[in-house]
Structure 1
Amino acid sequence: MSSTQSPRVWAIFLLVVAVGVLDLLSTTVANVAAPTIMRDPLLLTLALTAACAMSIPLLPRRGALAH
């Protein structure tokens, strides 16, 4: 491996680091807000709806599992 990397490698590396930081921030906010969310039925509904919406891209669209 050479000491000079292509800009594309650095861009991918920075993207992965940014995703990790945002994931950590999101988890921290959710853990701090969890007691309040559990007390308020509206906030609980909104949190569950957001979790379901974020899982939609994980559903299979074709292939054996989609039938």
Structure 2
Amino acid sequence: MRPTYACFIDLRKAFDRVPHEALFRKLESLRIRGRCLEFYRGLYHSSLTQISPLISETFSPIFSFCRGVR
């Protein structure tokens, strides 16, 4: 009887950790340039977010972030 191996990789949070600049460097390495690259840079420029409450009615202050893929 042969041994059986299983591997599970949880990618749900993997895309939350991608630095925006790393994303742009990767796009450039794939020869994405010009208007297309500028579109993505504009999409991530000055990204702001706010955490919504689960229990209370008070939202967090608005803050900028430099990680995560849309």
Q: Do the structures match in fold with TM over 0.5?
A: no
Q: Which has the higher helix share?
A: 1
What is the TM-score when the length of structure 1 is the normalising length? 0.33
Higher strand content, 1 or 2: 2
TM-score, normalization: structure 2?
0.32
Greater relative contact order structure (CA < 8 Å, 6+ sep): 2
